[in-house]
Structure 1
Amino acid sequence: MSAFLFVVPPLVGHINPTVGVAAELTARGHRVAWACADPGLVRRLAGAEADVFPCDGIAGVERPPDLRGPEALKFLWEGYLVPLADAMAPGVRSAAQDFRPDVVVADQQAFAGALVAECLRLRWATSATTSAEFTGAYDGMPRVAAWLRERMTELRGRIGDPSGTADPRFSPHLVLAFTTPELVGPTGENGEAIRYVGPSIADRPAEPGFPWEWLDPGRAKVLVTLGTANADAGGRFLAECLTALRERAGRVQAVLVDPGGTLAAAAAAAAAADNDNDNDNDNDVLILPVVPQLPLLAKADAVICHAGHNTVCEALWHGVPLVVAPIRDDQPVVAAQVVDAGAGIRVRFGRVTAPGLGAALDTVLREPAHREAAARLRTAFRAAGGARAAATHLERLGASREHDRPGADEPGAGRQP
């Protein structure tokens, strides 16, 4: 049996896809551990018994909500990804030396995992929880691509092997892409190390108190979510959603996720207007800070979201079409993939109004083409194998006799970062 160390950033969307893979490896008798700056988050998502090695993290990172495009990318790297790698590196090194993994599974945005593994001559695989890096997103921006390479070279000089050449975002041994070519499209990368395994969908700890009896079987169900990292930017958009949904109360019922509590005033005003008009809309929109997303998607007819990769893939795993409103980072790329695949409609996050949102929602609910495209992607996703396929690829890497470090019986031997 082999040992696998998952190195992940403290982000729900990056941990969730690996949970099912880790569970599958454990079920097959392998040893699994994690390295993360938030052990509690890993244990909440992967189970209380998860073996987690703590790493230092960074705190107080507040990205201005209006940043877009290259400026948002620059802030993401300079303000979060690179400092996080510097902070995590000592903890990842200690975890590798204590746990003695055969394979390090490094999230594509947890650079410390790849660089430390390379430095310790350990085999490593990439966990790619977004498809944006597979579509040549920077092909038309050579200055941006050069700037990213410079930042990575500097980081490697601090925490990795200066003589190393592998891009920490793409392992030369194995890249697990939690998507499929059917969504990525014809421009997707197809390198020898890339394996498209589809979404990794696994059971999650039950969220308390969801009123399942609230759902009305006679109306279409819509889930509205901007993920876990966009509460700072979502107030106006969620308010427009609320208006559009209430205007469709007779035929639509919605669950709207509002983790930052930004809708309290808008909801109160809408409720007051309903009372003035003697309309009973208490059963139209349910606003909650957190929801059991996977069980809800099994009942949903449409999703309105920010085009976050996990939310998109989880919706399409259930064959649910989408209205996507990308905000920043990889979201415009993922939104374009949804539209190109025919599985949804894109709206402008910063400018769309309730009438525009309502029209887009009506289209994905009423016209069969979007649902048919979502169903095709559902079939492709499930055929790709998900967590089981990913675990099999990792097993093969773990069992390989080709070591990238001296001493097959000395995990962790080699240069120290």
Structure 2
Amino acid sequence: MTTRTYLFALVDGGGTVPPELGMVRRLVERGHHVTVLAEASMIPDVAATGAEHLPWTAAPNRASRLPEDAYYRDWECRNPFELFRMLLDHQFIGPAPGYARDTAAAIDTVRPDLVVCSFFAIGAMVAAQARGVRFDVPFPNAYLLPVDGMPPACLGLMPARGPLTRLRDRIIGRVTLRQWNKGVPRLNALREVYGLPPVAEFFDQVHLARRHLVLTSREFDFPAQMPDHVRYVGAVLDDPDWATTTWTPPAGDEPLVLVALSSTFQDQTACLQRVIDALAELPVRGFVTTGPAIDPSALTAPDNVTVVAAAPHSAILPHASAVITHAGHGTVVRALAAGTPILALPHGRDQPDNAIRVSARGAGITLSRKASRRKIATATRRLLADPAYAESAERLGSIIVRDSRTDAVIAELEELELPDGSAARPII
């Protein structure tokens, strides 16, 4: 069997880690050589895949997912323009020279056939292009880049249905693209250092990828006119390695409600407490997993609610009657795959988009993250009382499960051209 060499340049985005490292694990299991550039916070996760780990040195190297180790505090942003500045300065453009330097050095050492770059690691894409190595960009969520027919990202909007909403999308699209393009001068300065010509717009760098691998089902996303290099390859439903502990259902026969907010810090402690207080009013068994960013001792729970740091959602979900979540993509698709309806309390990032895709399909309810205890309790009662939510979740979930079992993502990663220019077929 022909083996190939892959370099993954990954940034710890919390919920992005399990699906991206799921790709790594599958390549290693296929016999390929895989090296992962990753932060110290990801060392145990990378080790569990069997891949080799290289640390970021010039680029940021976060020690943990605790708030004190965050590159920036997006939960403190007072308006979208402040968030754009923070993203450009601390995530995309500010650290790009470091990502480029580390990735270029790794390419020279590893000599990969393909580099897989986190969407956040713009500098890694520059380095791969400069070294003449093809690169792919995974999207472990709904598709984020502007395309015709897709509503603007991260705002929780439904697709345009008439003149007014199409005008809405054009205006928002222009405003947001203008903000992203403020990073173009610094991006082009970096490209010049590496001997590359300038790009006109910020996302041109991302579109230079060989493939955009969208790690979800096409039916979960909204329909749009996608570029030829975009591939929907199905969700990776792996649990994070820090959550692979044993789990025993709490005693009782009442409906089980799983509560899981972000695995990174998004100032979610107060919201978690309101969810717990809401479940205290209901005849349910609540089970809360706080993730690595929140200490369970920061929460006060009644007798019918269990709070732990981590537990495998894949083991819990078959027993659950509802999930209350921030609507991170990983939690959402795993809940739907189990046919479990969702109460979404999006906190930011891509979470409003995931929430609207759930509620638009009748598979759940969306509330503000600031919703009161009473509203959370009322919405949870609705989810449990109306079987239509579970039926819709099961319909969409069956598609997600089907697509997750195809290994389309591995087929795309293995479909590389050979040195003579012929197309290499996926390994059987």
TM-score range for the pair, normalised by the shorter chain length: 0.7 to 0.9
8 Å Cα contact 1:15/1:42 also seen in 2: no
CA shift, 1:82, in A, is 2.4
Match of 1:226 in 2: 261
Moved more, 394-403 or 222-231: 394-403
Distance 1:133 1:156 in 2: 22
Q: Distance in 2 between matches of 1:198 and 1:111?
A: 24
| Alpha-carbon offset, residue 371 of structure 1 | 1.3
Residues in 1 aligned to 2:347 and 2:105: alpha-carbon distance in whole angstroms: 37
171, 177, 180: which one aligns with 1:145: 177
Higher mean displacement: 13-22 or 101-110: 13-22
Stretches of structure 2 that go unaligned for 5 or more consecutive residues are 63-68, 154-168, 423-428
1:47-86 aligned within 5 A = 47=48, 49-56=50-57, 57-58=59-60, 61-63=71-73, 65-67=75-77, 69-86=80-97
The question of 1:177 aligning with 2:177 is answered: no
Give SS of 2:235's match: coil
Match of 2:135, as an amino acid? W
Quick one: percent identity of the two aligned structures? 24
Answer with 375-384 or 82-91: which moved more: 82-91
How far apart are 1:105 and its partner, in Å?
0.9
Whether 2:394 is the aligned partner of 1:375: answer yes
Using the alignment, how far apart are the partners of 1:289 and 1:203 within structure 2?
Answer: 14
CA distance in 2, matches of 1:400, 1:146: 40
Other-structure match for 1:36? 38
CA contact (8 A) 1:102 1:398 kept: no
Tell me the residue number matched to 2:137: 126
Spell out, residue by residue over 1:347-384, the C-alpha distance to the aligned partner (whole angstroms, 9 max, x if none): 0112x101100111112222122212211222211222
* Residues 96 and 149 of structure 1, relative CA distance in 2, 3 Å threshold: same
Give the RMSD, CA atoms, in angstroms: 2.7
CA shift for structure 1 position 337: 1.4
Q: 1:189, CA displacement in angstroms?
A: 4.5
Partners of 1:128 and 1:208 in 2: how far apart? 24
Which residue does the alignment assign to 1:242? 276
Q: Which whole-Å CA distance do the structure 2 matches of 1:132 and 1:73 have between them?
A: 19
Listed as ranges, the matches of 1:14-413 within 5 Å are 14-38=16-40, 41-47=42-48, 49-56=50-57, 57-58=59-60, 61-63=71-73, 65-67=75-77, 69-134=80-145, 135-137=150-152, 139=169, 140-141=171-172, 142-158=174-190, 160-163=194-197, 165=199, 167-186=204-223, 188-202=224-238, 204-205=240-241, 207=243, 212-216=247-251, 218-231=253-266, 233-248=267-282, 250-257=283-290, 259-261=292-294, 264=297, 267=300, 281=303, 284-350=304-370, 352-385=371-404, 388-397=407-416, 399=418, 402=421
Distance 1:105 1:45 in 2: 15
In structure 2, the CA distance between the partners of 1:24 and 1:338, relative to structure 1 (3 Å rule), is same
Shift of 1:235: 2.3
Report which stretch shifted further, 22-31 or 175-184: 22-31
Contact 2:19–2:140 at 8 Å: present in 1 too?
yes
> 5+ residue gaps in structure 1?
272-280, 404-417
Work out the CA distance in 2 between the residues paired with 1:48 and 1:386. Answer: 19
Q: CA deviation at 1:266?
A: 5.3
The answer to whether the 8 A contact 2:117-2:138 is kept is: yes
Deviations 1:82-133 (A, max 9, x none): 2333322211111111111111111212212222111111111111112151
TM-score (norm 2): 0.81
